[in-house]
C-alpha cells in the first residue's frame, strides 16, 4: 500500500511510535526512525525492519525540542530516502504536578516537544506533499486533546494545541491531496504510562495498583488499556485510500472515555 513512500515516525524507538513504524514498514513504506534509547537496540530494530519487510530504514536521533536540528533532519531525510510522504508526529513526554509546583523547564519542554515539533515537521514536509499531490499527516494526540485531567497542565495544553493544528493543516492541504488527522488514544500501556503510574502514585499518595484501577482506567469505560498495535492499525488505515476523505478529524480511540 505504501511502497516507494517514505514515512517519518517521530519518537519511534519506543511504545506507540515503534508499533506504528513496524506497521508502516509492513505496509511497504521506507521508514525514518527517531527518538532516544540504547544505540544497539535501536540499530537492531532498524535492521529488523529492513530484513522483515524489505524496506529501507534509517535512524535520526534528533532532539525534537531543537527547531534547527529538525531542519537538519528533514534535509538529510530528503537526500537519503526522498521527501516525507507520511508524517507521524508521535514523540511526546508527560509530567504530572499541580500547576503551582509545575517546573517551568518542564512546561517549556512539553510545549516544545508535544506541540511545536509537529509545527516544524509539518511546515518542512508540506511543500513536497503539496507538490506531489499526496501526503498523510497523523498527529498522535490523546484523549487529553479533548478533555483535561488535573496535574497535567502542559500536556493537556499541548494536546489541545495539536487538535487545533490538525484542523488547520487539514484545511490547508485539503485541495492538494494532503490529509491531516489526529488519533486520540486513551491510556495505552507503554513506558510513558508506566512512568506516569509511579508519578501519580507519588503525587496522590496512593499505591500503583490504585492508580491503574481508580485513576487511569477510571476514565476508560472498557477498563482495558489500548494496545500499541491497535493505534498502529488506526494509523495504517488513515494512510489507505479508504480514509482519503477523513480529514481534520480528531479521532478517539479510548474505550469510550470522552463519550461520558
CB 89, min distance to ligand NAD, A: 8
Give the footprint of ligand NAD on residues 62-81 (CB under 6 A): 63-65
- In what order do the strands lie in the sheet containing 86-89? 57-60, 30-34, 6-9, 86-89, 135-140, 178-185, 250-253
Residues 237, 255, 171, CA angle at the centre, nearest 5°? Answer: 45
Question: For this structure, is 155 an active site residue?
Answer: yes
Give the footprint of ligand NAD on residues 20-59 (CB under 6 A): 34-37
Give the footprint of ligand NAD on residues 156-185 (CB under 6 A): 185
Looking at the Cβ atoms of 138 and 239, the one nearer to ligand NAD is 138
Q: What does the CA dihedral 17, 258, 241, 173 come to, rounded to 10 degrees?
A: -80
CB 164, min distance to ligand NAD, A: 16
CB 132, min distance to ligand NAD, A: 26
Q: List the grid coordinates of 9.
A: 515516525
HSE on the CB side for 132, CA within 13 Å?
17
Looking at the Cβ atoms of 134 and 237, the one nearer to ligand NAD is 237
In the list 8, 74, 86, 140, the residue contacting ligand NAD (rule: CB under 6 A) is 140
How far are the Cα atoms of 111, 114, 256 from residue 64, in angstroms, in the given order?
11, 9, 32
235 near ligand NAD, judged by CB under 6 A: no
**Catalytic residue annotation:** 155
Amino acid at each position: 500500500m505504501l511502497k516507494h513512500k517514505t514515512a517519518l515516525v517521530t519518537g519511534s524507538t519506543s511504545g506507540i511510535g515503534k508499533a506504528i513504524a513496524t506497521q508502516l514498514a509492513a505496509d511497504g513504506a521506507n521508514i525514518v526512525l527517531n527518538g532516544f534509547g540504547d544505540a544497539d537496540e535501536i540499530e537492531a530494530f532498524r535492521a529488523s525492519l529492513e530484513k522483515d519487510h524489505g524496506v529501507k530504514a534509517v535512524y535520526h536521533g534528533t532532539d525534537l525540542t531543537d527547531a534547527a536540528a529538525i531542519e537538519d533532519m528533514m534535509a538529510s531525510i530528503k537526500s537519503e530516502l526522498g521527501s516525507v510522504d507520511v508524517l507521524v508526529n508521535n514523540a511526546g513526554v508527560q509530567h504530572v504536578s499541580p500547576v503551582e509546583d509545575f517546573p517551568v523547564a518542564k512546561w517549556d519542554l512539553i510545549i516544545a516537544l508535544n506541540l511545536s515539533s509537529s509545527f516544524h515537521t509539518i511546515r518542512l514536509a508540506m511543500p513536497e506533499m503539496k507538490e506531489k499531490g499526496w501526503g498523510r499527516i497523523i498527529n498522535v494526540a490523546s484523549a487529553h486533546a479533548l478533555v483535561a485531567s488535573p496535574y497535567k497542565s502542559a500536556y493537556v495544553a499541548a494536546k489541545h494545541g495539536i487538535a487545533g493544528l490538525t484542523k488547520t493543516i487539514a484545511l490547508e492541504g485539503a485541495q492538494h491531496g494532503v490529509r491531516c488527522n489526529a488519533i486520540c488514544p486513551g491510556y495505552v500501556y507503554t513506558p510513558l504510562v508506566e512512568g506516569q503510574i509511579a508519578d501519580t502514585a507519588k503525587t496522590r499518595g496512593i499505591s500503583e495498583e490504585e492508580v491503574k484501577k481508580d485513576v487511569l482506567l477510571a476514565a476508560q469505560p472498557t477498563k482495558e488499556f489500548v494496545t500499541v498495535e491497535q493505534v498502529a492499525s488506526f494509523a495504517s488505515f488513515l494512510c489507505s485510500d479508504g480514509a482519503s476523505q477523513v480529514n481534520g478529524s480528531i479521532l478517539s480511540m479510548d474505550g469510550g472515555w470522552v463519550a461520558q
